[in-house]
Amino acid sequence: MDAVPRARIGRAVGLMATSLIAITATAVAFLNPGLFAGRQLASPVPRSSYNVTAVDFVSPTTGWVVANLEVGDRAFVLHTTDRGATWSQQLSVPTGGSTQYLKFFDAAGGVFALVGSRPVLYRTGDAGRTWTPMPVLSKWTTALSWSFIDADHGWILADPGRGVPASLYSTVDGGWTWQDLGSPIAPGDDVFGVQFSFLTTGWLATAGSSPYAYRTGDFGTTWQRVALPAPAGAQPGGRYFIDVQQTSGRGAIASLVYFPTFMGHSGRGGTIRQFPPLAVPFYDGSRPNNYVYSTMIDQVVGAPFAAVQAPLAELFSSVDGGATWVEVTPPALSGTLGYANPATWWWIDAGSQATSFDGGITWTGPARTAAIAPLLGSLKVLDRDHAWFAAAGRPALESTMDGGTHWRLVGLPQALT
């Protein structure tokens, strides 16, 4: 059964791309640094025993991906400098079911971390040939979200494990020391994630009783509520989940999901428990159940997907830092989004592509392409001509050098060890 009665769902399906079936507990284990560093791997084949969960490219030729074994509880970092013609296996990390965070700042420096308990940050300054593990905070802390904008400045949203609200911590020395900035939200709200796009500017993923986001303009020291339009069909009460990501410049995209007040055995409403992905336990009229939603702007979550009815949800675009918002509708129910600049957005799905030049309000096409189905959240638009994304359900990437007119399938190694 649906988490919200069908008559009140409205236009939700177009804004919720998929639904995960199960929630996996997260944990962090320690790394064997430098394992397999520099090893060149064989040419790829279409099928393998792992999935890509994160993608980051710093140029049309140079990038990294994170791959998770389907069996074996390990993640690997792979690196290419020749547009995917060859790959080096650089890192092997036991994950405990955790999602991963990967961010490179240039062709040499980057960070890798797991979301979960006992957070450890891994740093490299030599393009990933060697990595330095850096335990963060205390062993009782649970990492909810990471965000770095350069090699020195980063933030971690963490649960200190003492029955108190999650706190935001910042570093200005690459993770060697951390400053506690306190809870970034008002009492009664919940916080799930943090994303910084500039040294001063960041947004949160939160849940509250009204449709507002949280934004900072002073390095995360203070946070202000930013109002969003209430979706049609929302009633007094209930709970709003809002996740905001910077597109580029002063541009931002917000995903808003509304749940009516939980009504127990009626099957109405739900209680937001986790993100990402968005976990909403509810009672379906006969037994407790869980729907775990992934919006179109989620980061890659690396888990099986299944389509079910989504709750009331909408997407909004801003080109002025959240001062004003406009509702946007992507060309289709599936696919993923990327951004070349605040106004220019790309939408990719299997065999289709469209472009918006006004921040997602209107779209071209869609035009037919040879692109395969993308992994949610993996589209990285480097400029108006170059982009990369990971394939859904197979160890492969796609790249373009001409603005998406032509796409090239880039295979990954057949096996990881």
- Please tell me the predicted confidence (pLDDT) of residue 146: 94
Q: Which two tokens stand for residue 317?
A: 């675009």
Residue ranges of the chain with pLDDT lower than 50?
1-47, 266-267, 281-293, 296, 299-310
Domain range spanning residue 131?
Answer: 6-411
State whether residue 21 is helix, strand or coil: coil
* 286 contact partners, CB below 8 Å, separation of at least 6: none
Residue 285 lies in a domain: yes
- Please tell me the predicted confidence (pLDDT) of residue 213: 95
- Please tell me the predicted confidence (pLDDT) of residue 333: 65
- Please tell me the predicted confidence (pLDDT) of residue 60: 94
Closest CA to 113 of 135, 80, 89: 135
Q: What distances in angstroms separate CA 85 from CA 22, 43, 68, 80, one per listed residue?
A: 36, 8, 21, 8
Residue 210 lies in a domain: yes
Residue 404 lies in a domain: yes
- Please tell me the predicted confidence (pLDDT) of residue 171: 96
Q: How far apart are CA 290 and CA 271, in angstroms?
A: 10
Looking at this protein, which amino acid is placed at residue 3? A
Domain count, the chain: 1
Are the CB atoms for 67 and 31 separated by under 8 Å? Answer: no
Q: How far apart are CA 383 and CA 374, in angstroms?
A: 19
- Please tell me the predicted confidence (pLDDT) of residue 255: 85
Residue 416 lies in a domain: no
* Displacement of CA 216 from its chain's centroid (Å): 19
Residue 417 lies in a domain: no
Residue 165 lies in a domain: yes
The strand ranges marked E within 247-374 are: 252-259, 278-283, 288-295, 305-306, 312-318, 326-328, 336-339, 345-349, 352-356, 367-368
CATH number, position 366: 2.130.10.10
